[in-house]
A and B are shown apart, each in its own frame.
With several copies, the nearest count.
Chain A
Amino acid sequence: MSGLEDLYREIILDHYRSPRNRGELPAPPAHRVEGFNPLCGDEIVVFLDVVDGVVVDLKISGQGCSISQSSASMMSAAVKGRSVEEARGLVRSFKAMMSIHEAQLGAEDGDDGPGAATPVIAPDDLGELAALQGVVKFPVRIKCATLSWNTLVQGLDELEAARA
C-alpha cells in the first residue's frame, strides 16, 4: 500500500477545504443533474448553464469525500467558460488518466472506457487536475474522482437530447 501523500496532495486538500463554484443555480434556466456513487452514498448535483454551446456557468452542490469534492471543484474551474466540445474533450482526457484501474474493475462506462476516443488533451496538460493522478493507485476512489465528471457528461447529454 503506497503512502497517503500520493492521494492527498496539498492541492486536493485545498480544493476540498475551499471548493470553487459551490452552490446552486436557478433551474430553469440552468440545467440540474444528479449523480450518485452507489458504493458509498455520495451524491452530487451539477447545475449547468449552457448558452450557444458554451458552459457559461456551473455550480456544484451535494456531499462527498475529499476526492469527489475536490475533483468536482477542479472540474468546475476547468470547465467553466469552455465550449461544450472542449468540456467533453477534457472529460475524455480526465477519464483516460483514470482509466487504467477502472478497466480492471470492470468499467461500466462502455464507450467512455479506454481506447474509445483519443484524449484531446494530454494528461500533462491537465493542469491542476493532474494532481488527481495519484487516485489511480486506489481503485475504489476512482469512482469518487469520476463522479462529478460522469454527472457533467450526463447533463451535457440531456441538454443535447432536449435540443435535438
Chain B
Amino acid sequence: MSIDARAIRKDFPLLSPDRAGGPVVYLDSAASSQRPRAVLDAMDDYYTTTHANVHRGVYAIAEEATRRYEAARVAVGRFVGAPKPATEIVFTKNVTEAINLVAYTWARRELRRGDVVLVSEIEHHANLVPWLMLAEERGIELRYVPLGTDYHLDLSDLDRLVDGARLVAVSAASNVLGTVVDLEPIVAAARRAGALVLADGAQLVPHRPVDLGSIGVDFFGFTGHKMLGPTGIGVLWAREELLDAMPPFLGGGEMIRDVRVDGFTTNDLPWKFEAGTPPIAEAIGLGAAVEYLDAIGLERVHEHEAALATYALDRLRDAYGDEITIFGPEPDPQRRSGVISFSFAGVHPHDVAQVLDTRGICVRAGHHCAKPLMRCLGVGATTRASLYLYNDEEDVDALVDGLAEVRDLFA
C-alpha cells in the first residue's frame, strides 16, 4: 500500500496549507526533517506531567521520567535492530558527537602514528574532521575510497586501500549525491584486513529499514532531527564488547560508579557514556518519532521515496536537458535515495535557492558539509532537493516550475 503524502502532511504542522507566513514546499529534509504533532506532543506531555531529572529520583514523577527515557532508548534501539538495545544505545546530542565519541575514546586508545583510517571521498565533515584532528594530533594516516564515475564508491581497489587500516569509517548514504553505499563488500574487506567499521547512518536510518544485527558494522551513528525527531539528540550504537572496553568520554554525573578525591570508576553501559543530565525530552521525542515511522513502515517510506526520486529525476531531465547537471546515480530503488543535487543553467546555487524561496520552495544551496566531495565534483556548491515521506509529485512539479523562473531571471 503506497503512502498518501497529502494525508501524512496533516500530521506536520509546519507543512499545513494554513501555516502562518504561507505554505511551504519543503524539500530540505536531508538537512533536517519536519516533525509530526505526535513527537511534539510526547515532549510536551513529558514536560507538563512528569519532568524530573532521571535515574536518581525516588519519587513517582522521577521514576516515570526515567521509565520514559529508558523506554525511548529501547524503542530507538529496536528500530535499528540493535541486538542489545538497553545497553548498546548511547544517546548523544547529534551524530557528530557520536562519531567524535568514537574518535576520542576508541581511536585515541587504539591508534598509533602511521595507523590507517580509511574514509571515502563522499563523507560529511562529521565523519572527516574527527579523523583529520587525529591525523594532526597523532599522525594517523587517512586514506580515501574514491568516488566512481557512476557516483558510487569505486571499490575496485578496496583491498589495497584497506590494507593496514584499523578502522573504515564511511557514510551509509550520501547527503549530497543520494548514493546508498553498499556496505557489504566494505565490511567484508575490513574483516579480511582486521579493521573495524564505523558507518554514518544519518542519511540511511530515516529512510530505510536498518538491521544492526546483520549489517556487520562495529560502530553506527544517526541523528534525531533528520528522522522526525527533535534537535539535540543523536545516537551511537556499538557492539557491547567495544563499548565495554572503551574508556569514558565526558566525565561527570551519571557516568560514574564511584568518585573519590583521587579517582573514579565508571558506571554500567550505556550510562558510562552519558555524562550529565541527558537530553531527556529529546530522547522521548525521538522515541515517539520511531513509533510514528514504525506505524507507517520504513519499507513503505522507502518505496515512496524511491518512486518519487525517479519521478523527480525524469521530470528534471525532461524539462531542462543539458541545462541541468545532476550529481548522483541513475534512478535505482536499491542504490539511490531521494537526495538530488544539481547545478542549473550556470546560475549559482544560492541564487537558485533564493528564487525558489520566493515561491515557498525550500531547497538547500551550498557545500552541504562535504567540501572534499565538492572538489571532486569540481564545483563550489550545488543546489540540493531532498525528499521524505511527506513529499509528493506536486512538490516535485513546483520545483520544476520554479526552476523555469530561475532560468528566466538570470538568462
Among residues 246 to 291 in chain B, which have CB atoms less than 8 Å away from a CB atom of chain A? Answer: 256-258, 267-269, 271
Contact A66 B348 (CB under 8 A): yes
CA distance A87 to B353 in the complex (A): 33
Number of residue pairs across A and B with beta carbons under 8 Å? 91
**B70 CB–A CB distance under 8 Å:** yes
Q: Are B87 and A141 in contact (CB under 8 A)?
A: no
8 A-B pairs within 8 Å (CB atoms) are namely A38-B256, A40-B56, A40-B366, A41-B367, A64-B348, A106-B86, A141-B58, A141-B354
Is B371's CB under 8 angstroms from A1's CB? no
A106 touches B357 (CB 8 A): no
A-chain residues with CB within 8 Å of residue B66 when the two chains form the complex: 105, 139-140
Q: If A7-B354, A39-B366 touch, does A63 touch B380 (CB 8 Å cutoff)?
A: yes
Beta-carbon contacts under 8 Å, B329-381 to A? 347-351, 354-355, 357-358, 365-367, 371, 374, 380-381
Does B115 have its Cβ within 8 Å of any Cβ on chain A?
Answer: no
Given contacts A40-B350, A65-B349, A67-B350, contact A4 B409 (CB under 8 A): yes
A-B complex: 10 closest residue pairs judged by Cβ atoms: A41-B367, A65-B350, A106-B86, A65-B348, A106-B70, A108-B268, A40-B366, A41-B381, A63-B380, A38-B257
CA distance A63 to B374 in the complex (A): 13
> Do A106 and B350 touch (CB < 8 A)?
no
Selected contact of B354 from candidates A4, A42, A43, CB within 8 Å: A4
- Bound CA–CA A105/B87 (angstroms): 11
Task: Please judge, given known A-B contacts A3-B358, A42-B380, A138-B354, whether A36 and B74 are in contact too, CB under 8 Å.
Answer: no
B63 close to A140 (CB less than 8 A): yes
Task: Compute how far the CA of A3 lies from the CA of B357 in the bound complex, rounded to whole angstroms.
Answer: 10
With an 8 Å Cβ cutoff, the count of chain A residues facing the other chain is 30
Name the contact of A66 in the complex, choosing from B67, B71, B271, B410 (C-beta under 8 A).
B410
Residues from chain A with Cβ under 8 Å of B256 in the complex: 38
A114: min CB distance to chain B, Å: 12
**Contact partners of A3 in chain B: CB under 8 A:** 358
B57 at interface, CB cutoff 8 A: yes
Residues of A within 8 A of B354 (CB): 4, 7, 138, 141
User: What's the nearest-Cβ distance from chain A to residue B187, in Å?
Assistant: 26
Binary flags per residue of B56-73, CB closer than 8 Å to A gives 1, else 0: 111010110011001101
B138 at the interface (CB under 8 A from A): no
Q: Does B55 contact A (CB under 8 A)?
A: yes
